[in-house]
Amino acid sequence: MASMLQVILDEICLLLETYRGRDKVLRTLCYTTKLVGGIHKNKSFAKKLLQFSSQMSGTRATLRLLDDLPMLQYNLQYQFGHEEPDKYMAQFGVLTNIIDQVYYPIEKISWLAEHKLITGVDNNRWDSLSSICWVASIYLTLLKSLRYLSVLQKNKYNNKKDNSIPLEKMNKMQIFEILTSIRLTMDLVHAINTLPQGFLWSSKLSTWQVGLIGSMSSVLGIYQIFYKRKIV
C-alpha cells in the first residue's frame, strides 16, 4: 500500500515538474470546477466553484505571457517542417506555428486591456482576435493529426513487408494519434463557442457544457502524457 502511494506521488510530482504537465492540471481544475459549478443546485457553492475556475483560467493566461520566446525557439527549430513524415503535415505545422506566434502578442494586449494596464484599447476586439487564432490553430493541428493517422496506416501496411518497426509500437502510435484527434475535436467545439456570436454555435454552449467538454479534453490530455511513455 505504501509503495503504491509512493508511486502515485512520484507520478504526480513528475507531472507537476513540467510546464506542460502543470498547465494540464490547472486546466483540469478549471473545467471540472466549471462543470460542477454549472450544475450544482446550491447557488452560493456554485458561485465559489465558478470563481475558482475563473482564477485557474487567469493563472494559465498569466503563465502564457512568457510563452513568446519558447514558441519562437520552437519555430526556428521546426523551420519548414523538414523532419515531418509528410509534406502536408509540414505545411499544416508551419501554418499552425505562424498562427501560434501571432496569438501570443494578441493575447498579451487583450490581457493588458482586461486588467486596465493600457487604455484606449477595445479588449473585446482583441479577445475576439485571440479566439480566432485559437480556433485556426486547433483546426490546423487537427488536420495534421488526421493526416498523420493516414501516414501511420500506410506505414503500417508497408511495415508488414520489411518489419522495420514493431507492430505493437505502430499500434500504440495510432492509438495515441486517435486520442489526439478526439481531444482536438473537443477543443475545437469549445474554441468555436468563444468566437463572436453568430458563427456556428458560438456563445450557445452553457457553463456546464463548456465545463464538461473542457474536463474530458483535459483528462484525456493528462492520460496522453502518461500513455506516450509506453511508445518506445
Write b or e for each residue in 153-169: b if 16 or more Cβ atoms lie within 10 A of its Cβ, otherwise e: eeeeeebeeeeeeeeee
Q: What is the pLDDT of residue 9?
A: 85
CA distance 198 to 97: 28
Half-sphere exposure in the Cβ direction for 178 (13 Å, CA): 7
CA distance 232 to 131: 36
Q: What is the pLDDT of residue 119?
A: 86
> And the C-alpha cell for 170?
505502430
Over the stretch 184-222, which tens digit does the pLDDT of each residue have? 999 999 999 999 988 888 989 999 999 999 999 999 999
pLDDT band per the 50, 70, 90 thresholds, residue 30:
very high
Q: Mean pLDDT in the chain?
A: 91
**Stretch among 77-86, 124-133, 157-166 having the lowest mean pLDDT:** 157-166
Mean of the pLDDT values across residues 117-129? 89
Number of C-beta neighbours around residue 175 at 10 A: 14
Q: What is the pLDDT of residue 199?
A: 87
Percent of the chain having pLDDT more than 70? 96
Q: How many residues does the chain have?
A: 232
DSSP 64: G
Over the stretch 53-63, which tens digit does the pLDDT of each residue have? 999 999 999 99
Q: What is the pLDDT of residue 159?
A: 65
Asked whether the beta carbons of 228 and 160 are under 8 A apart, the reply is: no
pLDDT band per the 50, 70, 90 thresholds, residue 46:
very high
